[in-house]
Structure 1
Amino acid sequence: MRYIFIMCFMCCVQSIMAQPETEVKVVDTILWKQKNKIGVDLNEVTFVNWNAGGANSISALLAINSSLRYKKNNLIWFNEIRTRYGVNKQESQKLRKTEDELELISTIGFRKDTITNWYYSGRFNFKTQYSNGYNYPDRDNSISRFMAPGYLFVGGGVEYGKNIEKLSFYMSPLTFKSTFVLDNELADKGSFGVDPATYDALGNKIKDGETIRTEMGILVTNSYETEVLENIYIKNRISLYTDYLNSFGNIDLDWEIMFDFKVNDFVKATLGSHLRYDNDIKIVEETEVEDEYVERGATVQWKQLLGIGVVVDF
């Protein structure tokens, strides 16, 4: 009996000691790994003889997330496409846009050995939107368009990630940022920080507004996702950027936090918050005089999301 017990104990020890090597070997054989997720959120309100009043409305949001990872030895290359588009319709109003986002991300990193969790990384990030944006109910004057604005970040630095798909900290002391305003009307107004058009004393335009603004600065990002409770997941993404030459120390902030409440494999609820601040984006408000606007300066932008929908992973 003692011999059998010793043999079982030795087998268990060998199995436990061999476990990590087996897992490492399996992970290393996966060179390419792709994830795709499509989600549709729907919200609808209907009133019939409702004495408190109200307007019938329906809204929809389509979200697509696709990622492709390559990993071999000490090299990792991660690519991701994130896109969201949402609309809302009330019975007394025309269709309105509620969400519009297109983002491309590509990060390549190399570490000197398998012990360290620090990577020498290069990163590419591009953001824009699909359709015109308006300050509703004004539909005659668009305040944004496709590639107006568009943001491009290219830089190199270091990235920490013990489990880099779940937790990542990236810092780049040299990041090139370009802001595109590829619309003449918005460029002439100096929207999104580009140099506006120049006019003479009679109001005649003598120089077009710039369509591209370039900066060089520091970029710090952090992404984190985990299961906080059973079937409750949190995703946190934050980006901080400051330019060396233009108002150094004035930080542009992009912070998004999302809670996913999983009902089953296909149905989930989402609660999210998106906070932005960019000193180059000035808020313009209409005055009491018709068609006359005044610039109020930069301010914090905040968006809150709540929806229930269907999600498909493949």
Structure 2
Amino acid sequence: MKQLFLMSTLLMSILLVNAQDKTIRNLQTESGRSIKKDAADTAKKIWKTGGMFSFNLSQAALSNWAAGGDDFSMAITSYLNLYAFYKHGKHSWDNTFDANFGYVNTTSLGARKNDDRIDLLSKYGYELNPKLNLSGLFNFRSQMLKGYTYSGDEKTFTSNFLAPAYVLVSAGLDYKPVKNLSIFVSPMTSRWVIVNNDSLSAKGLYGVDTGRHSTNELGAYATINYTANINKTVTYKGRLDLFSNYKSHPQNVDIFMTNMFAVKLSRVISATWSLDIIYDDDVKLFGKDKNSAGTQIKSVVGAGLMVKF
């Protein structure tokens, strides 16, 4: 009887060990399997976020160079783009932030910036049909550091952070006929022009009355935003803003246009070309007497690091 009990106990122990060993092997097998999305799962992401950063650097030094040139020159250009897009049901919320900064230093000219811009755009939309949204838009645009215009050896202080700054609030219709193209139109838009600097406001620049730090404009507004992959290596991002001030010379439409072409040379190395065009009838810093408006054009070409995330 005692032998039978011992044999039964031994047999049960062997069976339990085998069962545990099989369970462990199954767990190891399951943990090593890759998880694949079910083809029937069609749920879309509510948030889509990402961005791009580019940094270009060029430097040259000359010594006893017969062809001539500055003994030393260095140029830096950088660009940061961040985005966060929300989409759920009929509701959408698009947010983008752009920052540009450029710096150049040469023996003859000294140090000066050649690019400086910060731009925040936020747009909420309620879908009326697959291609048309009822939307509200907010835009803030300014710069980071002091800006100067140069004439020979003379430089004139012309701008700074929040001097000027443009704050725009608008309600209208957002039409999206094809992917990556948005056309927003509003017949009623409020725009504030801010000059938060005493010396600049004392000159009455940027359409703000002398001695004041801000002014409000009411007008019509349109913005067109487009991005495209031209081919496997070339991408384009562009924006065109148009604003007509009902209160003063509505026929003189303010224009703000940015274009960015990027050519991918390797996984992290790219060549870029940016072209910006601005016309604002209230920015009277140009001409022979520096008191008239003019078309502002900025073109920057560079090659260097570009990272998308």
Normalising by the smaller structure, the TM-score range is 0.7 to 0.9
Match in the other structure for 1:265: 267
Secondary structure class of the residue paired with 2:291: strand
Task: Say yes or no: does 1:74 pair with 2:90.
Answer: yes
Please, which moves more after superposition, 171-180 or 31-40?
A: 31-40
Match in the other structure for 2:74: 58
Distance in 2 (alpha carbons) for counterparts of 1:81 and 1:163: 23
Match in the other structure for 1:249: 251
Match in the other structure for 2:5: none
Secondary structure class of the residue paired with 2:199: helix
Q: Deviations over 1:181-225 (max 9, x none)?
A: 0111111101111112xxxxxxxxxxxx11111101111111112
Match in the other structure for 1:29: 44
Structure-2-length-normalised TM-score = 0.82
Task: Say yes or no: does 1:102 pair with 2:118.
Answer: yes
The structure whose Rg is larger is 2
Kept in 1: contact 2:136–2:170 (CA 8 A): yes
Match in the other structure for 2:233: 231
Offset, 1:285:
6.2
Kept in 1: contact 2:261–2:274 (CA 8 A): yes
Residue 300 of structure 1 aligns to which amino acid in structure 2? T
Task: Say yes or no: does 1:112 pair with 2:114.
Answer: no
Distance in 2 (alpha carbons) for counterparts of 1:72 and 1:285: 51
Residue 222 of structure 1 aligns to which amino acid in structure 2? I
Secondary structure class of the residue paired with 1:152: strand
Distance in 2 (alpha carbons) for counterparts of 1:284 and 1:159: 35
Secondary structure class of the residue paired with 2:201: helix
1:220 paired residue among 190, 213, 222: 222
Report percent identity of matched pairs. Answer: 29
Secondary structure class of the residue paired with 2:128: coil
2:205 paired residue among 191, 200, 218: 191
Distance in 1 (alpha carbons) for counterparts of 2:44 and 2:231: 31
For structure 1, list consecutive stretches of 5 or more residues without a partner in the other structure: 1-21, 197-208, 287-293
What does 1:273-284 correspond to in 2, within 5 Å? 273-284=275-286
Distance in 1 (alpha carbons) for counterparts of 2:306 and 2:87: 27
Structure-1-length-normalised TM-score = 0.81
Offset, 1:94:
2.8
Kept in 1: contact 2:286–2:294 (CA 8 A): no
Q: Deviations over 1:76-101 (max 9, x none)?
A: 10111111111111134432111111
Match in the other structure for 1:296: 291
Match in the other structure for 2:62: 47
Offset, 1:305:
1.0
Distance in 1 (alpha carbons) for counterparts of 2:297 and 2:184: 24
Q: Deviations over 1:123-168 (max 9, x none)?
A: 00001111111123435x411111000001101000112456x211
Q: Deviations over 1:43-76 (max 9, x none)?
A: 2223233211011211111211111111111111
2:195 paired residue among 165, 178, 181: 181
Match in the other structure for 2:159: 144
Offset, 1:229:
3.1
For structure 2, list consecutive stretches of 5 or more residues without a partner in the other structure: 1-38
* CA RMSD, 1 decimal: 1.9
